[in-house]
Amino acid sequence: MPTDLSDIVRVLVPAFASFVVGMSITPLLTHYLYKYKAWKKSPGKTALDGAPAHGFNQLHDVHEVRAPRMGGIVVWASVVITIIGIAVVARFIPDAAILKLDFLSRNQTWIPLATLLVGAIVGLIDDLYVIRPGGEGLRLSYRLLIVVLLSAFIGTWFWAKLEVTAVGIPFGSPLEIGWLIVPLFILVSLALYASGVIDGIDGLSGGVFGSVFASYAIIAFAQNQIDLAAFSATIVGGLLAFLWYNIPPARFYMSDTGTMALTLTIATVAFMTDDLGGGVGIAVLPVIGALLVATVASDIAQVVSKKYFGIKLLRIAPLHHHFESLGWPGYKVVMRYWILSIVFAFLGVIIALAAI
């Protein structure tokens, strides 16, 4: 585990810079989002089984059209500007201290950065379709196809180029699975993308995603993957800037350009902190992202229960909307999710560090 103070600075400075960048660009972004009315023109949501989501629509019909989408731009734009800005400064001012801050590296940050950008662009296209009059966004089948193709490419890169063929097991030897690392990456990416529906209450997704990326920043740091740790911390900085404007009442919503970028990037970072980094990044993902797991599991359970048993397990799925339907105010759900996300993040980090 690294102990050099300069390594800590290399992680924290980009995170702070990303926060400052995010706070700086948000007023301008917000101005244009409101100027061009970048929100759904009519409320209403369809459930996973294709039926109208009556419960959700009763709770959120007004909220869906009161604030713009595409707030996720704050997060990924902060990260991109910070990474490119530091890299450019390091190129023209080749001072040793500045060069150390440059965390754009082929072996640690190119893949997660590419994942972040592809997810952000596809999500942005979806958002642009949604805000049109009568817009429904890209078809789910198209979005899932993109997730599968992207994750298949990255999974193959891990297997063929980086020779990743095993999954770390906490307190045990890595499990060799060979080429199955590719379908595993696809499944993890799809599951994480599905968890993006956690972006449903003001401030909820930002806090949960922040805990997840902060956890992996610590894990990557412990594995001496300093560039990857800086990258994850930079995302945390962007998320904190986003949260500043997303706490109730939210100025905007993260929407697909943010959730798609972040969920797919989590998959990449988890795999990079697994056997490749001598750790168990995949095994602790269900712990660190326990609330993301609960979100997906509650959706699946609701659909299965309704289809095969004619029973609704939850008043509204996913789980956080169920609590709203019970009468919990949104801020109460968000605060308790934040607390739980921090608790699970600590637990996951403890397991990961103990297993190194």
Tell me whether the omega of the peptide bond preceding residue 318 falls within 30 degrees of 0, making it cis.
Answer: yes
Identify which of 274, 186, 240, 264 has the alpha carbon closest to the alpha carbon of residue 12: 240
From CA 221, how far away is CA 215, in angstroms rounded?
Answer: 10
Helices 204-222 and 5-35, packing angle to 10 deg: 160
| CA-angle at 295, arms to 209 and 128, nearest 5° | 65
Radius of gyration in angstroms for the set of CA atoms belonging to the chain, rounded to a whole number: 20
Are the C-beta atoms of residues 325 and 200 closer than 8 Å to each other? no
**First-to-last CA distance in the chain?**
9
Question: 3-class SS at 356?
Answer: coil
Q: Which residue, among 119, 56, 86, has the nearest Cα to 264 in the 3D structure?
A: 119
Q: What angle do CA 74, 80, 86 make, to 5 degrees?
A: 125
Q: Given 3-state DSSP classes, what are the helix, strand and coil percentages for the chain, each rounded to the nearest 5?
A: 70, 0, 30
Which residues in 257-326 belong to E strands, given as ranges? none
| 249 upstream amide cis, omega within 30 of 0 | yes
Bridge-based pairing of strands 166-167 and 175-176 is antiparallel
DSSP string, 177-223: -GGGHHHHHHHHHHHHHHGGGGTTSTTHHHHHHHHHHHHHHHHHHHT
The CB-side HSE value for 131 (13 A sphere, CA atoms) comes to 20
Confirm whether residue 102 is marked as ligand binding: no
Binding positions for Mg(2+): 256
Binding positions: 256
